[in-house]
Structure 1
């Protein structure tokens, strides 16, 4: 096949829309596609294309499409659909195969023949770009009857997911926050995440929170100090000693009484912990294993029973897991290492990635397991007789849910331990023969208190019921009703349009500030944190605006959102308290987005009204009939503003008769109307004269919109009037 006859789609440009946009509330990847000659060749006119495509991605036959049922996309392929639409479904299917399921995608034509805009749901830009590249390569191969390795494409996407996505514990908390409609911001490439905005935010790092004190974390990291504090309040712990040498370990073991446990003082995930030691040789060998893992070594009394991990969140036990011993059974010809691979590592619950509840066992990196084998006179190369059971790991593998079995007295001891150490979230390790009985009956004890515990064992137990631990942590951080739409949120005002929006934003921010809230502001004239100007938006206005929501001092925020920002990046927040649309005049500079006339701005500017909260307010310019059409899209109240010297628009009259609110400019004075009542407001003409701009109609309209927005925000008419008297028209 010559290069001139080869069929291909040209990717003209690719953008990641990070906030609410013209397509959806959620982040998407948007690609502009040039089909070239494929514009004249829908799928049914390309010989063998559909069959080749289904051979590569069989599950495409299950995709829904315009017909609204399974198999809809296959029907479209058979009847004829364009290559951009096919690429959309290829990308979605590859994401599904890679474990990042998505069902959202759209492909729309533009005013240029053969050029389309294609979008698909993308939680992360890097993953989205990899998925698009692999989907593009796949459809190109199918179009040209060329080979393509689907498994390699899926693996490439999985690798991008592994590089970019949150760990399972953090993801569970973020997912629970999302279910509560609490927004989040990822603060680094790891697991540091902000839940909520501004002054209402909380921060998490895996299962640690900004309520977790540094002193408490340090105490938890010092096992000997932890035991001292727990002993002081009567919580049962195994007696033990810190030892510096192997011979000291044996002397301590004799003092404590055999059997004993030897472990590092900062043991993590059971690393370096040796159990049920009864001889000097065993104790001294265990000292060397523990010493290699931590700074100090502890010898303590061995507690008979199974290891348990109880998760305490905000003073309550919310989940519990029990460990199990691991054994293999000889077959007379396989080595222990081979038996581990065939009998244990084949368990589908085991794997290297974080999403597996159990780890793959590798003898070369498990000194405790090697020591356990040595105590039985075995090594990894030993071949046990057929039917002989060999102990591989005495404890650990905390993967059996036992939450409903925990005795109230055990739960009380565990929550007390978390309080004594000072942790709001803690993983408490204890050993007991029966967690459903009090420690006094089982001689059980708490052996460790952990800050920042992993959650995977509770989210994906190998046996038993998964527990909603992410939800418990979110409820701890944001107490209150699940229906509270303001959890983690500060009031946000968004202003979209092109006429005087920077002035509106600055005036509203000033009035909100005067009402007693520390206010963040992002507009084309600059960035403010309270009364401090902290910079200009620069070439990345979305990033600059979004960063203001990280400010812990911000009790409210005001954003100017030109149409170009919505088209390039989306809105810098997910929902707002007040959304304002001023006009449809900003289409002139948006031809590269295929926006060529005012009517094309409807889908763009509606985004600002779409995100108004149910108890929020949409503020609309009633002098523009196109803006008024957005009223039906608002989930909250609609407040209109209009200049009425030429007569009150019919829509405003009807709105007031229905009990609505409107702000009117009549003969130079602002009037605040609610139903049949009116309240005089600021003398706007006098203000314009004081600023030396008595005939500036655009400035007057901007200040009218600012009054309407401030009233929608909940600021009193008296404060609005006094505040505008002190407003500085020029940015400082």
Structure 2
């Protein structure tokens, strides 16, 4: 048994509309051996993962999977359930999974859901390792492996504040993108997006953050504005500390001047020894130390969001309660077993850590870690009350005195923060701090909200919701419209046509295509950019009004979609291409894969389907939103049915593109007026024009703008680079096209057949990952149409040997009735084109189905320039000399 690959799909994918992990395994000789026939396997499995007994499996009831084990099931299926159970053990409530045959008789694909991608990935690895240990009699330390996964997950887990905001955004159906591996989120797409890290937003002023991080400066500014704050000074040396203490008089507070989360803070200090120890502790976290007058009272956090107080908590320092039996160290260990406590911020409470501040706190009350407190005795382990140091919180939102609310809002406004945590010390929060000696101790620029969401006592307050509502008030837009275009042929041209029309509609368009990523017609990333990463580049751009995304098969199958839901999803057609790759073995499989684009559509959005496609009805059954059919024939059965139902349809009628808007028929444009159709010769560009009309009409674009966009769209290197680009060279034509499958060849050759030509000459090739039969068919098709062919190969052989594809094409050409003399094999497509042009005759048309566009373009221009120069250099013969 071999582990072949593990892939994490963070978005919608062909297996589910939520995140999954896909694992490919080769079962080898175990492919037909059920686990009940592997000695001791089931027993060892259930001893190490007893929770598997509760899995329902396909039986649909508890113990269903256990019954499958007993009767016999296979290792790939078992591994799927193991990966789910490992995540269950680690605290993630998951159950979705499925397993299916992939290829080569022994290779299976299993998928299962995840919440934390690191945990999902590592759970798959551990599940395989467990099976491997059983099969090969090796030992495995489950405890240490689980701890290792926990540690890795903590490093990449979103913080509690960010996670809570993510959850609220998802409730509001606001799409999100995690930027990098830190806690930075983008909420929304394009020009409507907002970014946030924990509780710091893209609108938070850098200067305000700097001020808040400088505790002494914050203190001074608030004091100048008449806000009650403790008296304090910054110090670099112990000598300066004691000079300040002499002025302030104990009790005092010593803390890092720019620290956070209460780290290195020591409170209520009296003696010289306590102050010295506190100074050295604070110095571990900052070069400078802040000395403040200690304010007696309880500690509170008032959280301000968007100019209003949304929550308040009393914070109580980390503590243990004695039982008369265990010492303080043991009581800490017992409390840390509390399931609500975890490392860092992963759970509602943080595990209590022993450090110098704790030892100093215990020394002050004549205790240490070996002290055994009396039963019921509360022992405070710190005097600062941060949750990050093991403290707890009690909700007091409804108890805060109105004057204290005003003061908190004023402090946030003075510092300039849109979100702020105002730390207050006062004897009673229900009374004005101005009257009972309280003070604002700190202003936090990125306050944690965990204490409000998970108070140990009182009402939870959904601060994350308040933050999301501040970023996106009710009915405010959060996403630009998205058009997603897929299909076998015509995707790139259709995408470019749609973008052109939208540009004519005065919109800033972000576009992905096989030619690159474009923002407002500017090439940002060059290359084939039709996958989810490229889609994210567009959706992360703050300038775009709309996204038009070419969405290719490879990205869909191997990575899923790069967006959440589209406004328009469009499938141009389903044809024979990429068969036998990634488990896609039939056209039905391909239709189902492409249908993901039709499934991931907003309820009010549009699914656009080719009514002439064999799989139109199949795809329509899976589509979401409103279905729009298009066809080159107005008498198409689906078009007629759709119109009768009062639904939208786009079709060709009397050589004009027409729209049926549900009530009436609207003329858009005559196909002869669309330059990309070459006067109606190129039927595939008529189909692409229909697609573009359907998509832009669905988006509400004015008919006149659609007309203008198509009227100005040409098959040249400017508008549609690499798609039937025609070049006049000397006294013959050269056409460059990206056709690379049977459908693409058919469409181009049908167009060529309508053009006047002396001879049709093909420079032909096929990508090496196509099946032998597909390559042969393309060769045979070429043999029927062309008078002469030059067979070339792609530089990227895609697993083939040199010359292997060319030989298959040649066999096909001969089947198509070309003779040996009409076939030239020249594997380098550049040399092949040069030969074709040198041997061309007046009136010939050369078509190159290229792999790399720019090198061929250079060769064409060079040849044309040399030909033009030769004409100029011919001796001029005067008319009277003839």
Paired residue for 1:138? Answer: 130
How far is the alpha carbon of 1:116 from its aligned partner? 2.5
State how far apart, in whole Å, the 2-side matches of 1:13 and 1:331 are.
53
How far is the alpha carbon of 1:638 from its aligned partner? 1.3
For each residue in 1:57-96, what CA deviation from the matched residue of structure 2 results, as whole angstroms up to 9, or x when unmatched? Answer: 1111111211222222122222332222111101111122
Instruction: Map residues 62-101 of structure 1 onto 2, 5 A cutoff.
Output: 62-101=54-93
Change (3 A) 1:78 1:369: closer
Paired residue for 2:311? Answer: 319
Paired residue for 2:19? Answer: 27
State how far apart, in whole Å, the 2-side matches of 1:101 and 1:347 are.
19
Instruction: Return the match for 1:513 from 503, 511, 530.
Output: 503
Change (3 A) 1:243 1:116: closer
Paired residue for 1:3? Answer: none
Out of 321-330 and 113-122, give the one that drifted further: 321-330
For each residue in 1:404-463, what CA deviation from the matched residue of structure 2 results, as whole angstroms up to 9, or x when unmatched? Answer: 332332222112211111111111111011222222443221110011122333333344
Contact kept, 8 Å, 2:10 with 2:20, in 1: the verdict is yes
Structure 1 gap segments, 5+ residues each:
1-8
State how far apart, in whole Å, the 1-side matches of 2:365 and 2:599 are.
68
Q: Give the total of aligned pairs.
A: 713
Paired residue for 2:571? Answer: 581
Instruction: Return the match for 1:617 from 602, 606, 610.
Output: 606
Instruction: Map residues 4-19 of structure 1 onto 2, 5 A cutoff.
Output: 9-19=1-11
Change (3 A) 1:712 1:284: same
How far is the alpha carbon of 1:30 from its aligned partner? 1.9
Paired residue for 1:655? Answer: 642
Paired residue for 1:178? Answer: 170
How far is the alpha carbon of 1:557 from its aligned partner? 0.7
Change (3 A) 1:155 1:371: closer
Change (3 A) 1:74 1:331: closer
State how far apart, in whole Å, the 1-side matches of 2:350 and 2:488 are.
57
- TM-score norm. by structure 2 comes to 0.75
Paired residue for 2:421? Answer: 427
State how far apart, in whole Å, the 2-side matches of 1:535 and 1:345 are.
50
Contact kept, 8 Å, 2:674 with 2:712, in 1: the verdict is no
How far is the alpha carbon of 1:315 from its aligned partner? 1.8
How far is the alpha carbon of 1:702 from its aligned partner? 0.6
How far is the alpha carbon of 1:476 from its aligned partner? 1.7
SS in 2 for 1:396: coil
How far is the alpha carbon of 1:466 from its aligned partner? 3.6
Paired residue for 1:668? Answer: 655
State how far apart, in whole Å, the 2-side matches of 1:300 and 1:461 are.
29
Change (3 A) 1:694 1:460: same
Paired residue for 1:542? Answer: 532
- Is 1:533 paired with 2:526? no
State how far apart, in whole Å, the 2-side matches of 1:124 and 1:284 are.
44
State how far apart, in whole Å, the 1-side matches of 2:89 and 2:7 are.
23
State how far apart, in whole Å, the 2-side matches of 1:601 and 1:578 are.
20
State how far apart, in whole Å, the 2-side matches of 1:142 and 1:420 are.
65
Contact kept, 8 Å, 1:330 with 1:339, in 2: the verdict is no
Contact kept, 8 Å, 1:321 with 1:399, in 2: the verdict is no
| Structure with higher RCO (Cα < 8 A, 6+ apart) | 1
How far is the alpha carbon of 1:595 from its aligned partner? 2.0
State how far apart, in whole Å, the 1-side matches of 2:211 and 2:659 are.
60
Change (3 A) 1:348 1:679: closer
Instruction: Return the match for 2:580 from 585, 591, 594.
Output: 591
Change (3 A) 1:134 1:260: closer
Paired residue for 2:494? Answer: 504
Out of 534-543 and 569-578, give the one that drifted further: 534-543
- Is 1:415 paired with 2:375? no
Instruction: Return the match for 1:698 from 680, 684, 687.
Output: 684
Contact kept, 8 Å, 1:95 with 1:157, in 2: the verdict is no
Paired residue for 1:633? Answer: 622
Paired residue for 2:156? Answer: 164
State how far apart, in whole Å, the 2-side matches of 1:252 and 1:84 are.
70
Instruction: Map residues 144-155 of structure 1 onto 2, 5 A cutoff.
Output: 147-155=139-147
Instruction: Map residues 150-549 of structure 1 onto 2, 5 A cutoff.
Output: 150-243=142-235, 245-256=237-248, 258-278=250-270, 283=275, 286-325=278-317, 338=329, 341=332, 350-363=341-354, 365-366=355-356, 368-376=357-365, 392-397=381-386, 398-402=391-395, 403-480=397-474, 487-538=477-528, 541-549=531-539
State how far apart, in whole Å, the 2-side matches of 1:390 and 1:77 are.
52
State how far apart, in whole Å, the 1-side matches of 2:573 and 2:66 are.
43
Contact kept, 8 Å, 1:61 with 1:73, in 2: the verdict is yes
For each residue in 1:482-528, what CA deviation from the matched residue of structure 2 results, as whole angstroms up to 9, or x when unmatched? Answer: xx8xx521111001102211010011011122222211100112220
- Is 1:729 paired with 2:715? yes
State how far apart, in whole Å, the 1-side matches of 2:404 and 2:615 are.
66
State how far apart, in whole Å, the 1-side matches of 2:416 and 2:409 are.
10
Change (3 A) 1:543 1:346: closer
Contact kept, 8 Å, 1:318 with 1:469, in 2: the verdict is yes
Instruction: Return the match for 2:96 from 104, 117, 120.
Output: 104
State how far apart, in whole Å, the 2-side matches of 1:157 and 1:622 are.
50
Paired residue for 1:685? Answer: 672
SS in 2 for 1:613: strand
Instruction: Return the match for 2:546 from 553, 556, 566.
Output: 556
For each residue in 1:561-614, what CA deviation from the matched residue of structure 2 results, as whole angstroms up to 9, or x when unmatched? Answer: 1222211221221110000011110x4323122323312223201101100100
SS in 2 for 1:608: helix
How far is the alpha carbon of 1:642 from its aligned partner? 0.9
Change (3 A) 1:501 1:300: same
How far is the alpha carbon of 1:264 from its aligned partner? 3.2
Change (3 A) 1:117 1:262: closer
SS in 1 for 2:267: strand
How far is the alpha carbon of 1:244 from its aligned partner? 5.1
State how far apart, in whole Å, the 2-side matches of 1:104 and 1:550 are.
30
How far is the alpha carbon of 1:246 from its aligned partner? 4.0
How far is the alpha carbon of 1:387 from its aligned partner? 9.7
Paired residue for 2:109? Answer: 117
Out of 230-239 and 69-78, give the one that drifted further: 230-239
Contact kept, 8 Å, 2:672 with 2:678, in 1: the verdict is no
Contact kept, 8 Å, 1:525 with 1:731, in 2: the verdict is no
Contact kept, 8 Å, 2:516 with 2:529, in 1: the verdict is no
Contact kept, 8 Å, 2:672 with 2:679, in 1: the verdict is no
Change (3 A) 1:681 1:416: same
Change (3 A) 1:219 1:509: same
- CA RMSD in angstroms, aligned pairs only: 3.0
Paired residue for 1:40? Answer: 32
Contact kept, 8 Å, 1:91 with 1:132, in 2: the verdict is yes
SS in 2 for 1:521: strand
Out of 309-318 and 436-445, give the one that drifted further: 436-445
State how far apart, in whole Å, the 2-side matches of 1:330 and 1:18 are.
47
Out of 262-271 and 165-174, give the one that drifted further: 262-271
How far is the alpha carbon of 1:334 from its aligned partner? 8.3
State how far apart, in whole Å, the 1-side matches of 2:242 and 2:169 are.
50
Contact kept, 8 Å, 2:592 with 2:619, in 1: the verdict is no
SS in 2 for 1:66: helix
- TM-score norm. by structure 1 comes to 0.89
Change (3 A) 1:222 1:58: same
Structure 2 gap segments, 5+ residues each:
719-882
State how far apart, in whole Å, the 1-side matches of 2:195 and 2:705 are.
35
